[in-house]
Structure 1
Amino acid sequence: MEYLVNGLYIVAFAMFIYGLMGLTGPKTAVRGNQIAAVGMVVAVVATLISIRDAQMGNWILIASGLVIGVCLGVPPALRTKMTAMPQLVALFNGVGGGTVALIAYAEFLDSDGFTAFQHGESPTVHIVVASLFAAVIGSISFWGSVIAFLKLQETLPGRPIGIGRLQQPLNALLLITAVVFSVVIGIRAMSPEGPTGSLWIVGVLVLSGILGLMVVLPIGGADMPVVISLVNALTGLSAAAAGLALDNQAMIVAGMIVGASGTILTNLMAKAMNRSIPAIVVPGYGLAVAQAQHAVKDMAKLLETRGIEVKYAIHPVAGWMPGHMNVLLAEADVSYDAMKEMDDINDEFARTDVTLVIGANDVTNPAARNDPSSPIHGMPILNVDQSKSVVVLKRSMNSGFAGIENPLFFAEGTSMLFGDAKKSVAEVTEELKAL
């Protein structure tokens, strides 16, 4: 039976990696996601077989938990609109981190210590360290994801919420205290006297949870894409650590894949945001809110019938998560070839007659390039201000998530069209038909 389980794990790993490779391109992303999902099913089946074979725990109870999880997870995934997809990603990611934290806590739940002591065994160093690491990082990821979800959902204000100069010292104190608690737990777990009481691990989880809250609360809504990517990486690392403690190869491999890819994505997005030719459409979150992608496609189709080339300029962090705008436009059957990344399109703006900016704010703000005193100075932007004419579609003159004014709106070559983006695009299309 052991050979069967190991064989299934190898198949699952291969599908994880192959599926991830598919996510590198829009045309293969759906298939890649499906392959990885099947790989996870294979891994789950292998885990259930190993648990049943080793007579570990209540197999029926575990299977029931999986069924309940599927029933709770599938409906919101099917019903959630693309505008709310970042919130769903943050929430699901948080659930993963919280699960890892609970797994770590379960090691201390029985007999006030590691479950290995129930069988007269002493936990090895790697089990102790990995379990405590999973507890800390998993708890930070869960509570950080909760704050990200609430900010994206606008239940909490998108502006930074902090305590000023005391923020960093408090965060450092929370982290140090959690580490001290973990060290105490680890030393006692490896000592002849046996493990400490379970209240110590509760302290670790509580301190880590508060740290997760305090780290994300001071981050503004404009930086939420980076936050989501970061907590996703943390969840992956914590899952890998838990897999190491439980000797579960599936958790180790899947966790490392998520952790590594999330870390790389976070780094790329941080750089994109400067944190540590006849027509171009520039979509932003306003397009998502108004669900204007189909109206934009209709307008572009009309322009193309008149011999006008239309391209879509997409900033790396447009919307609230990477790829948000790409998926929205693809939903309206916009060709992937027409979607251009910032580095590929920026040189074309100076040769562009008209640029239509729909709901994009901070990613088109020329202050990032021209004003050294601006909070976003140095952040790469779409150079729409270099176009001969710019038409900006917005609901109002309100600032974006960065909370600063956009000089583009007052530029000589800019025209402002206020209102719901979907209705505004439809009105523009009707005007074009009359020409």
Structure 2
Amino acid sequence: MATLIPILYIVAFSLFIYGLMGLTGPKTAVRGNHIAAVGMVVAVVATLLMPGTHNWLLIILGLVLGTLLGVPSARQVKMTAMPQMVALFNGVGGGAVALIAWSEFRMTAGFTDEPAYVVIASLFAAIIGSVSFWGSLIAFGKLQEILPGRPMGLGKAQQVVNAVLLIGAVVCAVMAGMGGASELWIIGLLLVAAVLGVMVVLPIGGADMPVVISLLNALTGLSAAAAGLALDNTAMIVAGMIVGASGSILTNLMAKAMNRSIPAIVAGGFGGGGTLPGAEDGVERTVKSTSAADAAIQMAYASQVIVVPGYGMAVAQAQHAVKDMAKLLEAKGVEVKYAIHPVAGRMPGHMNVLLAEADVPYDALKEMDEVNDEFSRTDVTLVIGANDVTNPAARNDPSSPIHGMPILNVDESKSVIVLKRSMSSGFAGIDNPLFYADRTSMLFGDAKKSVVEVTEELKAL
């Protein structure tokens, strides 16, 4: 058994890494998930084989309850709700790590006679795990619109309060780690870290939420790795470091894509205000409305059409209708591309996932840097429920909250057709001058219904 368990752990984290490699493309993503899931099963089996494992009734009960809660939730969740599901599942991982640290404190009589690295790793896992759990719950609430998406903070006092909470958590950790300390210290640590998690995420605006989800995911991974170090569990160390490292890299890439630093995002971001068009300067603006028939004619006689998907496409579940429309256009000799902004949607890769679900060819999905030069040569750009990532104020208006954020250069197209339900602002809560531009026409209504109507008009041409 002493030889079998390390071998199983090596097999497990080898499958983790191989499965992660499969997530680099939609064609291999499903297989990659299955491979990583097999690795997790192997890791669980190896852990259960460790000497001293007991309380089998509680273990089996936990596995059954987790399966009954997790499988139906994952299978029934809609693609529009996937970001909040990711946030919730990620938070559960952080919460589990925090409880493990508390359990270790109790089982070792307050870390009495425990090596220093075990104490430090356990307390680090407790703080980060609790922050991740409660922060993820707030992110879930914002994404689910249980909580307002706008920043909710204490203004200039916010960072002072966060610093005090962090110092308080560290003080509790020091007292809890001195050996034989009262259990109240570890409970205080978890509570203070919980408040810190809430206070860190509440002031972050909705437009920054994709970055926040990625950051919280990285924190959960790091806390799991620390817990694995304390428990001498190889699988937890490796899996946690993989999640922590990949999450950190993704967070950094997404922050750069928004031209914002991670500290600036954590300090309180823009977004979610929901301001009315023209409310900022009192100027009345007019838009040009179009019809499905006019949109179909424009695209049918175009050489190139670029589709820009946003959260509105996800809400309407319009990805399959978009694929059908693109297929008709390609049959008429029109080249169709998809412009994907790194933070479009509510989580990293949200638009890629939706379009891959509709079997859109991967080579048709163009990243921002790759496609931005194409807009000036594009006859028609079809914007489906995207707002902030196409807002030219980010490029032209120094007073705009999103100024400096790289955007898709949609306004350089010869013609722009925007599909929206209404003139409401995007998740950043600011108006979009693109909607009032001379080259822009608005097609109001449900995105899926509008795309289907355009497709029917294309068939009639």
Alignment TM class, shorter chain as reference: over 0.9
**SS where residue 27 of structure 1 aligns?**
helix
Provide the C-alpha distance between the structure 2 equivalents of 1:327 and 1:244, rounded to a whole number of angstroms.
34
Provide the C-alpha distance between the structure 2 equivalents of 1:5 and 1:85, rounded to a whole number of angstroms.
35
Q: Which residue of 1 aligns with 2:146?
A: 155
Provide the C-alpha distance between the structure 1 equivalents of 2:220 and 2:139, rounded to a whole number of angstroms.
14
Paired letter, 1:157: P
Q: Which residue of 1 aligns with 2:94?
A: 97
Provide the C-alpha distance between the structure 2 equivalents of 1:229 and 1:428, rounded to a whole number of angstroms.
36
- Find 2:61's aligned residue among 50, 64, 89: 64
Q: Contact (CA 8 Å) 1:367, 1:374: kept in 2 or not?
A: yes
1:397 is the counterpart of 2:423: yes
Paired letter, 1:432: L
Q: Contact (CA 8 Å) 2:304, 2:379: kept in 1 or not?
A: yes
Deviation, structure 1 residue 111:
7.3
The gaps in structure 2 that reach 5 residues or longer are: 262-302
- Could you tell me the percent identity over the aligned residues? 77
Provide the C-alpha distance between the structure 1 equivalents of 2:379 and 2:108, rounded to a whole number of angstroms.
73
Deviations 1:173-196 (A, max 9, x none): 00001101111222x21xxxxx11
Q: Which residue of 2 aligns with 1:365?
A: 391
Deviations 1:278-313 (A, max 9, x none): 101000000000011111112111111111111111
Q: Which residue of 1 aligns with 2:270?
A: none
Q: CA RMSD in A?
A: 1.2
Deviation, structure 1 residue 241:
0.4
Provide the C-alpha distance between the structure 1 equivalents of 2:241 and 2:232, rounded to a whole number of angstroms.
14
Q: TM-score, normalised by structure 2?
A: 0.89
Deviation, structure 1 residue 61:
2.0
Q: Which residue of 2 aligns with 1:275?
A: 260
The gaps in structure 1 that reach 5 residues or longer are: 190-194
Deviation, structure 1 residue 64:
2.6
Q: Contact (CA 8 Å) 2:110, 2:176: kept in 1 or not?
A: no
Provide the C-alpha distance between the structure 2 equivalents of 1:111 and 1:378, rounded to a whole number of angstroms.
52
1:30 is the counterpart of 2:15: no
1:179 is the counterpart of 2:170: yes
1:40 is the counterpart of 2:31: no
Provide the C-alpha distance between the structure 2 equivalents of 1:27 and 1:422, rounded to a whole number of angstroms.
25
Provide the C-alpha distance between the structure 1 equivalents of 2:256 and 2:390, rounded to a whole number of angstroms.
16
Q: TM-score, normalised by structure 1?
A: 0.95
- Kindly indicate whether structure 1 or structure 2 has the higher relative contact order, using CA contacts under 8 Å at least 6 residues apart: 2
Q: Contact (CA 8 Å) 1:274, 1:376: kept in 2 or not?
A: no
Alignment of 1:257-406 (within 5 A): 257-276=242-261, 278-406=304-432
Q: Which residue of 1 aligns with 2:217?
A: 232
Provide the C-alpha distance between the structure 1 equivalents of 2:8 and 2:15, rounded to a whole number of angstroms.
11
Q: Contact (CA 8 Å) 2:108, 2:114: kept in 1 or not?
A: no
Paired letter, 1:262: G
Deviation, structure 1 residue 434:
2.8
Q: Relative to structure 2, which stretch is displaced further, 96-105 or 372-381? A: 372-381
- Find 1:211's aligned residue among 187, 196, 206: 196
**SS where residue 129 of structure 1 aligns?**
helix
Deviation, structure 1 residue 110:
4.5
**SS where residue 269 of structure 1 aligns?**
helix
More helix by share: 1
Provide the C-alpha distance between the structure 1 equivalents of 2:108 and 2:122, rounded to a whole number of angstroms.
16
Provide the C-alpha distance between the structure 1 equivalents of 2:320 and 2:33, rounded to a whole number of angstroms.
25
Tell me which stretches of 4 or more aligned residues in structure 1 moved more than 3 Å: none
Q: Which residue of 2 aligns with 1:81?
A: 78
Provide the C-alpha distance between the structure 2 equivalents of 1:346 and 1:40, rounded to a whole number of angstroms.
41
1:416 is the counterpart of 2:442: yes
Q: Relative to structure 2, which stretch is displaced further, 259-268 or 103-112? A: 103-112
Deviation, structure 1 residue 101:
0.2
- Find 1:132's aligned residue among 120, 123, 145: 123
Q: Contact (CA 8 Å) 1:226, 1:270: kept in 2 or not?
A: yes
**SS where residue 359 of structure 2 aligns?**
coil
